[in-house]
Amino acid sequence: MKKKLSIVDIANSLNISKTTVSFILNGRAQEKRISEELVKRVLEYVKEVGYKPNSLAKSLRTGKSHIIGLLVQDISNHFFATIARQIEDLAYKNGYKIIYSSTDNDTQKTQELITMFRERHVDGYIITPPDGIEDDISDLIRDGFPVVLFDRYLPSVPTDYVVVDNLFSTYNATQYLIDNGHKNIVFITYSSIQTQMIERLEGYEKAMHQSKLKTSVTEIDFYASADSIVKLILDFFEQNKDVDAILFGNNHLGKCGLKATRKAGKRVPEDIALIAFDDYELFELYTPAVTAIAQPISEIADNVINLLMERLNTTTEEQKKQHITLATELIVRDSSK
Amino acid sequence: MKKKLSIVDIANSLNISKTTVSFILNGRAQEKRISEELVKRVLEYVKEVGYKPNSLAKSLRTGKSHIIGLLVQDISNHFFATIARQIEDLAYKNGYKIIYSSTDNDTQKTQELITMFRERHVDGYIITPPDGIEDDISDLIRDGFPVVLFDRYLPSVPTDYVVVDNLFSTYNATQYLIDNGHKNIVFITYSSIQTQMIERLEGYEKAMHQSKLKTSVTEIDFYASADSIVKLILDFFEQNKDVDAILFGNNHLGKCGLKATRKAGKRVPEDIALIAFDDYELFELYTPAVTAIAQPISEIADNVINLLMERLNTTTEEQKKQHITLATELIVRDSSK
DNA sequence: GTGAAAGCGCTAACAA
DNA sequence: TTGTTAGCGCTTTCAC
């Protein structure tokens, strides 16, 4: 293994001090009035021997790591994966790397991850917070770390965040079903106290109440397996023959619902209309093509990174926290008639 | 921001030396014959004040970071996302964190990423290598870093790797189509010199040759957009009316092919039979349900991590590189008749 | 304009 | 059994 060069090696080879090398490498030559000729000589030599500063040592000294900690609920979920991908790209363009992990919506795991990120001296955090994590996020903010939440927020903790207009999304979708003559509309969701789920529920309820229709909500345990979710929905069909439309609270439930509807032998949309949350490429090709509430993935990623970069680049302490709410789009296809 | 405690603070508060604290914290108390009572006192105090060692400083000193660099082709691709997720979980169980990034199959980007990973002192690398990266991987190995490749390998570079039996996968799928009476079977793939794509092509050709059928291969540029791929396939249909079956070389092509088939108004499998590479949850629900070659995702992740951990934990230099080839499964559904 | 030296927090050889 | 001390590679103050 070839010996890694250090700044001292460079300084010695050039018969100058490492301070000078450091200044030149950090673009402070002008300020320090170092001769152009020396600067050139150093830069050329550095390039020639392929010297790379040890960023670990640099971080230890400066306290900055140029690493962003990204905690998503589950990187294997399409929604989070595509957002993570874009966040990654944008972060790199800004000179930052990403350390990421999936929280599984598990509070304790998330706490451990935050601790690990702190140990690693990450400069900023992007998090889809599970509930119960309020104190840890507060600590982060109190200690001066930039934190941007997305997908949901924590009502009791003032932070920057980027979310979509969940309430309007489901309100609008429900209203669409109502306008198409559906009456027994069910909302299948997770039993969750997270803001995005609560708002989606509220949107559904608001539309139903406005039309004086009876609401029917099925709440499923977040940790239920895909198979058991399908089974639950099948049971539900069994006991509720008159349901004529379903709105799903998130993408995983939508997929399971599709499976259950198929298994139950129901015709879509004749027997039952369906609207999913989050759009998938394949929904378009499904028979019938699935109507879905599409979140603006690129916009979410853009806003998250911009917010974080803003915080990272300003030293001014307490600014007002920014709350960004983006619009979703109801993509009407065949499953909702 | 509350002052971060250092090991010196702990030592001073307890009126002992930081060496002692360091030994105790690193589980070397026994070995150093430090009194149980002292150990207990230190551990309790550390816990009480919530002291966390600065892992950056530790890394600088030890040269180990307990971070694994993961480079996948594209984290937003379902196949890579699910594997990344499992690798992440398994890595954490082994006390390692992951820094990841997507290569986009871009050689230069990958080189830069490897450089960044090196700067960050990652302990090991898991990579889906783009072509042209041979030298960089060789350097990594020469310099003693554990490297595990997956999904494909580099024939000219001896490394550990985990792949699937691509040749048999497509051979088997093609054979299946032949057995079902198809003759004009097309293989739609990327023009790529990567091993996995080459082998998939070979499997198809082998089966066709064995049955004395004429091969027909459509190679698509890797960087083509989804829309242009769909268009290409539509054009192809236009010019080749007699095609009665298509085998797709990877998941993205499969999705585009599905879209194109739908647009062309072809009936599946009556007019044309389809087999995709990589299975998706929704394939089962598609009409008709899509036949697919499923890769053993968990097994791949397991083997990758095990291989890497083995390398990480053994100091013995040159061991023989391990090549692991896993079986795929042809999941027969309706689209292939 | 340039250099000496302190120190970021930690580990480990060596002393005591 | 415990403490002293020398770095790991870098930045930055202060002196020349």
pLDDT per residue as tens digits for the range A201-242: 999 999 999 999 999 999 999 999 999 999 999 999 999 999
d(CA A89, CA B247): 32
Strand D closer than 7 A to residue B57 Cβ: yes
Of B28, B25, B40, B66, which Cα lies nearest the Cα of B312? Answer: B66
**Which homologous superfamily is B64-163+298-327 in?**
Response regulator (3.40.50.2300)
Percent of chain A past pLDDT 90, that is, above it, reads: 73
CATH 1.10.260-classified regions of chain B: 7-53
CB of A34 lies under 7 Å from some atom of strand C: yes
The percentage of chain A sitting over the pLDDT mark of 70, rounded to a whole number, equals 98
Task: Assess if CATH 1.20.1630 describes domain B7-53.
Answer: no
What CATH superfamily is the domain A166-295+331-336? Answer: Response regulator (3.40.50.2300)
CA A214 to chain B, closest CA, distance in angstroms equals 31
A287: nearest CB among B102, B121, B287: B287
- Residue B1 pLDDT grade (very low, low, confident, very high; cuts 50, 70, 90): very low
| Residue B50 pLDDT grade (very low, low, confident, very high; cuts 50, 70, 90) | confident
Euclidean distance between CA atoms B110 and B99, whole angstroms: 14
Which of B75, B143, B258 minimises the CB distance to A85?
Answer: B75
- How high is the mean pLDDT of chain A? 93
The DSSP output letter for B278 is: S
Q: Give me the mean pLDDT over the B23-44 stretch.
A: 89
Check whether residue B34 has its CB closer than 7 Å to nucleic acid strand D: yes
Q: Which residue minimizes Cα–C1' distance to D13? A: A19
Residue B13 approaches strand C within 7 Å at CB: no
- Please answer yes or no on whether B57 and A57 come within 8 Å at the CB atom: no
**Average pLDDT score, chain B:** 93
Express each pLDDT in B179-227 by its tens digit.
Answer: 999 999 999 999 999 999 999 999 999 999 999 999 999 999 999 999 9
Where in chain B do CATH 3.40.50.2300 domains reside? Answer: 64-163+298-327, 166-295+331-336
Calculate the angstrom distance between C1' of D2 and CA of A58: 32
pLDDT in tens, A171-205: 999 999 999 999 999 999 999 999 999 999 999 99
**Residue B165 clears pLDDT 70, i.e. is over it:** yes
Contacts of A121 in chain B (CB under 8 A): 54, 56
Interchain CB distance below 8 Å, B143 and A285: no
Which pTM was predicted?
0.90
Contact A32, A90 (CB under 8 A): no
Cβ pair A282:B282 closer than 8 A:
yes
- Of all residues in chain A, the one with the smallest CA distance to B281 is A255
Beta bridge partners of A161: A149, A323
- Distance of C1' in C13 from CA in B176, Å: 67
Mean pLDDT score, A109-130: 90
* pLDDT score, position B315: 64
Which of B71, B120, B298, B317 should one mutate to test binding to chain A, selecting the residue with the greatest count of A CBs within 10 A? B120
Q: What pLDDT does residue B282 have? A: 87
Is the pLDDT assigned to residue A315 strictly greater than 80?
Answer: no
Structure tokens, A180: 């198409």
Give me the pLDDT at residue A334, please: 96
Mean pLDDT of B151-159: 97
Rounded-to-integer distance, Cα A218 and Cα B207, Å: 51
DSSP states of A224-262:
--HHHHHHHHHHHHHH-TT--EEEESSHHHHHHHHHHHH
Which amino acid appears at position B331 of this protein?
Answer: I
* Best CA proximity match to A206, nearest among A164, A161, A174: A174
A contacts of B97 (beta carbons < 8 Å): 99, 101, 116, 120
Average pLDDT of the segment spanning A298-315: 92
Spatial CB neighbours of B149, under 8 Å, sequence gap ≥ 6: B126, B127, B128, B129, B137, B159, B160, B161, B162
- List the single residue in A with minimal CA-CA distance to B62: A56
Averaged over B102-125, what is the pLDDT?
89
